Amino acid sequence: MTRISFILWALMLVTWCAMRYPAMRRARRQKTQVDRRSTLDISLLAFCTFALVVMPIAWRLDVFDGFADRGQGIVQVLLGTITGIAFLWLFRRSHKDLGKNWSVTLEVREGHQLVTQGVYAHVRHPMYASFLLWGLTQALLIPNWIAGLVGLCAVVALYAVRQSREEAMMRESFGAEYDAYCARTKRLVPGIF
């Protein structure tokens, strides 16, 4: 079961990379109008990459030597697969709805528009929501307490630091339009939070 769950995780990682690559190429061609990147921001992104990519691979290569391994059953694999499919769908949908307005760091592009349609009509941060689902997927599919949970911890840390800074940047760029958008949408879970 462990081999199957790792293969599923790896397939999701490859799919995520295939989805992200075109958006990153497009973003490099866009000129930046507002840049709020910080060393902390870049460090947290690096930590997420380490936690969501390197740690599961290190676990599979037996770097942990069985330390902190846990049992893996069909229920965890099924739940991990379902959350992984939800993660990939929401991630793809978020990128599609954002189009050229997306950036990996805290930036506003020239000609940037406030996106309020698609999944953004329901939540303000669907990309973060998708990454939280990815962290949950990893926790379910990687049967190791450290390598499985570190991804979720990294994403929570990134969201906790970036969310308020990102919203302040958007408020500064879009003013009352962004305030009205915030009044009618929740941050991560439609109608709840």
Give per-residue pLDDT as tens, 162-173: 999 999 999 999
Give the structural domain span for 91: 2-14+37-184
Residue 193 lies in a domain: no
Q: Please give the pLDDT value at position 155.
A: 98
Residue 152 lies in a domain: yes
| Helix (H) / strand (E) containing 83 | helix 74-98
Q: Please give the pLDDT value at position 30.
A: 79
Which one has a higher pLDDT value, 44 or 1?
44
Residue 97 lies in a domain: yes
Q: How far apart are CA 164 and CA 126, in angstroms?
A: 15
Q: Tens digits of per-residue pLDDT, 128-153? A: 999 999 999 999 999 999 999 999 99
Residue 87 lies in a domain: yes
Average pLDDT, the chain: 94
Residue 192 lies in a domain: no
Main-chain dihedrals φ then ψ at residue 109, nearest 5 degrees: -85, 160
Using N-to-C axis directions, what is the helix angle for 126-141 and 2-29, rounded to 10°?
160
At 189, the amino acid letter reads V
Q: Please report, rounded to a whole number, the percentage of residues in the chain having pLDDT higher than 90.
A: 82
Main-chain dihedrals φ then ψ at residue 107, nearest 5 degrees: -140, 150
Q: Tens digits of per-residue pLDDT, 90-112? A: 999 999 999 988 888 898 888 89
Q: String of b and e for 159-180 (b: at least 16 CB within 10 Å)?
A: beebeeebeebbeeebeeebee
Q: Please give the pLDDT value at position 110.
A: 85
Q: Tens digits of per-residue pLDDT, 114-124? A: 999 999 999 99
Residue 51 lies in a domain: yes
pTM of the model: 0.93
Q: Please give the pLDDT value at position 35.
A: 80
Given a cut of 90, is residue 31 above it in pLDDT? no
* Number of domains comprising the chain: 1
The enclosing domain of 46 has a CATH number of 1.20.120.1630
Residue 20 lies in a domain: no
Residue 191 lies in a domain: no
Q: Please report, rounded to a whole number, the percentage of residues in the chain having pLDDT higher than 70.
A: 100
